[in-house]
């Protein structure tokens, strides 16, 4: 059986003459968290809305569990960026109502809703009205609402916006648990450090096109340049083949001249009898890659349509 639970193929969307999405394809697999990244206006929300059939693509298709999206919507849950609970609605009642709409028996819905409310620290708010809850609390309630019908796929648009660090951690744990259970999660986020910690793979959009795709490590390695990160106890001046030394808080970054290999530098450090605490090929954090993408310092690789960093 294939692991692919969602397949987006050549999604294209125009708003009048403006092309918001241009031939975007990717897959989502069982048991993974996929990060949907990209600058403001890149097309992330447009993509998510197409995946749940809120808007239709002008071209391309979405298949869920091997079926057209229209036939498999119940396997998906979507947590949109702009959230809203009916202000006067009581929390438990609202959750049970929405779960029933999705075919969950009332008793089951109530039991699961209570369990989730306890787990997410909202046990004392079961009878509260939505308007009595803070923004972050309401967000957690909506996440619970998305989970009660036990979907296979969860699409989350900026799920951490407005959450404090503790609640962020709680939601991260929930996401990891769901992954462990074999659910597939697609997460749109601007928080690159979080994408790095949480996502197995990422896709990055820019101006409506897919510009990067791969595991977090693959993407970071693809962008690694001729530089090393080293931690040593003494100053590193006058190393042969090093064009620049940039000091960081915990070590320094060495930019090598083009003919020099990392092995040669390591050999020289050993030869000088310098104690090396850390020595690695520098792989930039996603944040740095994101900024390169967003600022446009990328060149298009015509062979696969994806982009790579300009040397």
The yes or no reply on residue 45 touching ligand ATP (CB under 6 A) is yes
For residue 300 the two structure tokens come to 């298009």
In this chain, which of 11, 27, 32, 44 binds ligand ATP, going by CB under 6 A? 44
Residue pair 183/151 in contact by the 8 Å Cβ criterion: yes
Tokens 């979907």 found at: 151
Instruction: Sheet containing 67-68: give its strands across.
Output: 18-29, 4-15, 59-64, 67-68
Burial (Cβ within 10 Å: 0-12, 13-18, ≥19) of residue 150: middle
Scanning residues 260 to 289, which ones bind ligand ATP (CB under 6 A)?
none
The yes or no reply on residue 72 touching ligand ATP (CB under 6 A) is no
The yes or no reply on residue 38 touching ligand ATP (CB under 6 A) is yes
The yes or no reply on residue 41 touching ligand ATP (CB under 6 A) is yes
Q: Which is nearer to ligand ATP, 43 or 151 (CB)?
A: 43
Q: Which is nearer to ligand ATP, 51 or 185 (CB)?
A: 51
Give the chain's radius of gyration (CA, Å). Answer: 23
Alpha-carbon distance of 266 to 280, in angstroms, equals 10
Alpha-carbon distance of 241 to 256, in angstroms, equals 6
Q: Which stretch binds ligand ATP (CB under 6 A): 33-41, 101-109, 127-135, 250-258?
A: 33-41
The secondary structure of residue 163, as a DSSP letter, is -
CA separation (Å) from 150 to 87, 119, 189, 222?
A: 25, 16, 23, 37
Name the minimum Å distance from CB 15 to ligand ATP.
3
Name the minimum Å distance from CB 54 to ligand ATP.
11
For residue 15, the SS3 value is strand
The yes or no reply on residue 167 touching ligand ATP (CB under 6 A) is no
The yes or no reply on residue 296 touching ligand ATP (CB under 6 A) is no
The yes or no reply on residue 56 touching ligand ATP (CB under 6 A) is no
Q: Which stretch binds ligand ATP (CB under 6 A): 25-33, 38-46, 87-95, 173-181?
A: 38-46
The residues that touch ligand ATP, with contacts defined as CB under 6 A, are 15, 18, 20, 38, 40-46
């Amino acid at each position: 059986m294939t692991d692919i639970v969602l397949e987006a193929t050549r999604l294209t969307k125009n708003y009048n003459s403006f092309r918001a999405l241009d031939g975007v394809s990717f897959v989502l697999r069982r048991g993974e968290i996929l990060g949907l990244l990209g600058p403001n206006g890149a097309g992330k929300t447009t993509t998510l809305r197409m995946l749940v059939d809120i808007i239709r693509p002008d071209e391309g298709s979405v298949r869920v569990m091997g079926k057209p999206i229209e036939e498999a919507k119940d396997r998906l849950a979507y947590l949109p960026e702009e959230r809203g609970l009916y202000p006067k609605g009581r929390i438990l009642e609202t959750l049970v109502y929405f779960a029933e709409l999705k075919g969950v028996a009332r008793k089951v819905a109530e039991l699961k809703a209570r369990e989730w409310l306890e787990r997410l620290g909202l046990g004392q708010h079961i009878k509260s009205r939505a308007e009595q809850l803070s923004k972050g609390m309401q967000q957690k309630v909506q996440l619970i609402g998305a989970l009660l019908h036990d979907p296979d796929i969860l699409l989350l648009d900026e799920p951490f916006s407005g959450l404090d660090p503790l609640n962020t951690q709680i939601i991260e744990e929930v996401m990891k648990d769901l992954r462990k259970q074999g659910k597939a999660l697609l997460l749109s986020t601007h928080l690159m450090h979080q994408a790095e910690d949480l996502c197995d793979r990422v896709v990055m959009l820019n101006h409506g096109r897919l510009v990067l795709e791969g595991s977090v490590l693959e993407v970071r390695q693809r962008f690694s340049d001729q530089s090393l990160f080293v931690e040593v106890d003494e100053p590193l001046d006058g190393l042969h083949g090093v064009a620049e030394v940039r000091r960081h808080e915990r070590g320094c970054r060495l930019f090598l001249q083009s003919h020099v290999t990392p092995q040669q530098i390591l050999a020289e450090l050993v030869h000088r009898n310098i104690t090396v605490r850390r020595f690695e090929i520098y792989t930039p954090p996603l944040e740095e890659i994101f900024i390169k993408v967003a600022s446009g310092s990328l060149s298009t690789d015509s062979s696969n349509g994806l982009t790579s960093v300009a040397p």
